[in-house]
Chain A
Amino acid sequence: MKGRRVTTSPFPISGYHGRVLEADLTSGAVRVVPLDPAQAMDYLGGRGLATRILYDTIDPACDPLGPGNAVVIAMSPLVGSNAPTAGRGHMVFKSPLTGVLGTSNSGGHWGAGFKATGHDVLVVKGAASSPVMIDISPEKVEILPADRYWGLTTHETHDQLAEDAGPGKPARVLCIGPAGESLVRFAAVANDRNRVYGRCGPGAVWGAKKLKAVRVRGREKVAPSDPEKYKSGLDQAVYLLKQAPVTKRLLRELGTAGLVELINLISMLPHRNFQDCLHRDEDVERISGERLARAFLEKAGSCALCPIGCQRHTRVAGRDGRDERGEGPEYETMVLLGPVCDVYDMEAVTRANYRCNEMGLDTISFGGTLACAMELFETGALTAADTGGLGLSFGNAEALEGLVAMTARREGFGAELAEGSFRLAGRFGRPELSMTVKRLEIPAYDPRASLTQALGYMTSPSGACHLRGGYAVSLAFFGGAKEIPRFSLLQSPIAIRNMQNAGILQDSLGVCRFTGYAFSAEPWARMAGGMTGRDLSVARLEEIENRVATLERQFNVEAGAGPADDALPARFAEAPITVEGKERRVSREDQERMRRDYYRVRGWDADGRPTGELLRALRIETRRG
């Protein structure tokens, strides 16, 4: 199972190697396909390019866990440069959790490591009959047996594969843990031990393909075509990152968990499976970033080329009394495993987070599914007989850690949790208790506290994702000059379209969402334009963003999604929360109006389908011609 390096002519655009690596796990064949320069300029890289290649590679109606699905991981022309935070990779696939586009992003160092092998994109197709790994370097690409790693945690796999690589430039490892092997629908793929492609269940797709890991090593570099232009954008970006309070201080000192107190202040911090946003101040303090920094933090850390440094390297007392070390928890984890389950025990949340990272589980979906189970249990829809005697009431912090392992290995009641909250709630007769959009669990921002956030969840291509749906909290609270009204029906559709587009740009450039707290597209336009030597003005980037958003929608339409999938759970329309003294809900009428307006803003028809005219205008080739 070996692939020879294929010599291709020098790629005409700087920043790209011009090489797409395809691995077919069914046949064991590996080949390098030249990257199409026009496609690179139309879709840029990362999320955009990966989505285009996925759309061209698979049938969106395919079985996500079958060999017809594919995994595409793409880098951008900035990955491998010294642009701030530009080390991120983007992975797309059809999601086994949602049935629509799975799209996930991760930092760390693997992305830059992959780019250094001399490739821009990795496409994994087919399925192996026994566990395999892919080993990539500039000299060779091999699909190797991985039986000896099967069953290991993500940390064990990472450490073992890095050690087995021998001396030389350090190897970077991307792998799944037991959750992926067990086809848990929200299993993650981890790199550099604790960075994860978490959402939408990519780990299950890898597990179905029997792909345990991808190890990379290389020294290939990229250089800007117009260094002066590139540097002007770089200088501006670095200056602004050092200036904005969120990027220069908050995230470094408190990590993303620093949001806990602040999100609570704007009545957006969910509680008890999103039943309300009410918390006692002292409880919030117990799970705050401030307390994490005071009591658990050993040091901050950074992904590749990141001046922000939001990583939390922490230490917590284990259940046996000995100290454990790990990373996190992040804000989303803290809240989903915390107050959403009515838990305010930071030690328990931190340990459960460690276990999730080791097992390879998405903490948002795990927490959301567990909270759903707790509400099912309290309403009597689920009993101790169903849970194997486990009392799953809200607030059961003790159960967290054990349930991670049970879920990851599909043991006992863990097999039910492994299906995600949509299937769990449906199976136990209370589908309305699943807090999901497109079957993806809602992150830690209550949509009733911001219509923009609500519409972001509704229209996100991957389901309820705060990153793909538009990072609306940065408009609701941290936007600086960009803060917008939280309850404007008129402004929300365009505001969220623009936020989603900003996210598409960041994901397609392989850079961190947090840079958006400091600056918008202009510095990126200069860096990307300077790197490639091509016209990547802000207007051109805007066109690319709209093209990617429409292609993602086209994928989902072909996968069977429609307007009914662009809706919030009934709870958010029926049960109000109180925000600044006013009752707030997202009524069905408001959802209908925002959804209709959003489709129009995007240029889609009344059923949310991209029109032929739009597809032609954006030069998107589809199966319908």
Chain B
Amino acid sequence: MSGRGWKASDELLRLLRAVGRASLAYDIQDSHSGNMAVRWKDERGQERIVITATGSQKGDLEPSQICFLSAEGTDFGYYKASSETDIHARILALPGVGASMHAHVKELTAVTMNDAPKPSRPPDFAPVDTLGYHHLGRAVPVDWFAVPSGSAEMTRTVPDRLAARPLTVIYGHGAVAKGRTLQEAFFLLCVANNAGAVVRSMDRLGVDVESLREKIRNGPAGRFAPPPPAYEIDGDERCDFPEEEEILREFLKAGHRIFESRLSPFHTGSMSVRGVDSMLYAPKASMPADLRGPLLKVPLAPDAADGPEVKVHKAIYAASDFQTVMHCHIPEAEASAHFSYPGETGPCDRIIPVDAEGSFLYLAVPVLPPDFTPAELVGFLHDYKMAVVRGGGVWAVGTQSLSEVLHHPSSLREICHYRIAARERGLDLRRMEPAKARRW
């Protein structure tokens, strides 16, 4: 390890600390697990690899736990740097890669485990949620290694896997992702964990996941709403409305809560506050502390260049008096939208709360098919304030504030939690639901 590299720049230290803290907050690391690596040019313009120290607490990184290595791999120190430095070095050598990250994505790890005798290659993981499908691909490789940590075998295999795809799973040991930036690698790991959480929730609900996967293989277009926007790496610091200090604060508060309460994976979802002819818009709504996304001012008038996400915000505002809109990807809600009651064919068209607070706040939460029209969505939002799109996330609205609209998806996660727990315990959901809710 180069002695010159002991001093991380403030900017770099802030980034690694922020992602480290966020990964702990999102529960995809234990206190000391995982590692992060980025390509970086030093003050003399020399390409270097910066990587977290082995055994460092990723939630509380110190400057001395950021290690600087040469990109050529000639002075790998191994005294302090991660035991998986060789793997990261090879990943960072891939074209266009600026960062890599390994995390213990527990939900995904859990659903990719099996009890087949080893050694054997586990099946690929096929996401059934829109974020996982569109950002990770229809099949994510899972590799079993005899020595699943920092081994030569991993150093050979993992970078090869990532040459063709953004993320790969190490059997029983989380996943590794590459990105143009560290934020992108972290984003992919969060999306992967979320994809695992969707499947795990489906398992607990008794949803036939394999059958769903088969349907997705045969016709993915009919199973998902329009794809989420591609991950943008530029402009995270952009803020078009610095003069609106109070609203800015509200965006950041809501963004933190979406992320930390796992209402949507890092830098996914969207939220907006409407003005008279423009809306203040956060296209990466899920924002942990110190890892903001762009905060934009967007005209309300439809624009041919509008992506599907912005279009829905504008369509809701055009057809209502609502002042705030939020879109999140709650894994428990996505799983619940695929639930079928015993003896019934087809997934449910509503999620009925069985807990006390959920029941009084929301008699029922409607579930729309993936090919919903904005008019249908607005109609449901008027009456229920929130709707789940099967294969497309949760949309919610507020008459006044971001805080108000945040409450809806937050409540929904709880509602789904109790339903899933009840089902897992073998309780009869139909008997627990108010009968009238079925007729709404």
Interface residues of A, Cβ cutoff 8 Å to B: 228, 232, 235-236, 239-240, 243, 475, 479, 481-491, 493-495, 497-499, 501-502, 520, 522, 525, 537-539, 542, 546, 597, 600-601
Contacts and interface: CB of A to CB of B under 8 A. Distances in A.
Interface string B358-400: 0010010000000000000011001111000000000000111
Nearest to A596: B276
B75 interface: no
Interface stretch (B32-40, B284-292, B402-410, B413-421): B402-410
B400 A498 contact: yes
B247 A488 contact: yes
B287 to A, nearest CB: 18
B379 to A, nearest CB: 7
A481 B403 CA distance: 5
Contact of B276 (A235, A482, A487, A494): A494
6 contacts: A232-B436, A479-B404, A482-B403, A490-B276, A494-B323, A539-B379
B382 A539 contact: yes
A490 B241 contact: yes
A126 to B, nearest CB: 39
A473 B439 CA distance: 37
B247 A491 contact: yes
A502 B249 CA distance: 26
B383 A488 contact: no
Interface of B: 241, 244, 246-247, 249-250, 273-277, 280, 320-321, 323, 360, 363, 378-379, 382-385, 398-401, 403-404, 406-407, 436, 439-440
B323 A597 contact: no
B404 A491 contact: no
Given A488-B244, A490-B241, A490-B280, A538 B275 contact: no
Contacts of A488: 244, 246-247
A470 B150 CA distance: 64
Contact of A239 (B277, B360, B400): B360
B320 A539 contact: yes
A495 B246 CA distance: 14
A490 B400 contact: no
B104 to A, nearest CB: 34
**Pairs A-B, 7 closest by C-beta atoms:** A485-B246, A539-B382, A597-B276, A481-B404, A482-B400, A490-B275, A538-B382
B320 A483 contact: no
A235 B360 CA distance: 8
B436 A228 contact: yes
A369 to B, nearest CB: 33
B318 to A, nearest CB: 13
A546 to B, nearest CB: 8
A223 B321 CA distance: 31
Contacts of B378: 539
A601 B383 CA distance: 22
A486 B246 contact: yes
A433 B404 CA distance: 39
Contacts of B241: 490
B400 A495 contact: yes
A520 B407 CA distance: 14
Given A491-B275, A522-B385, A542-B321, A485 B250 contact: yes
Nearest to B379: A539
A394 to B, nearest CB: 34
A479 B276 contact: no
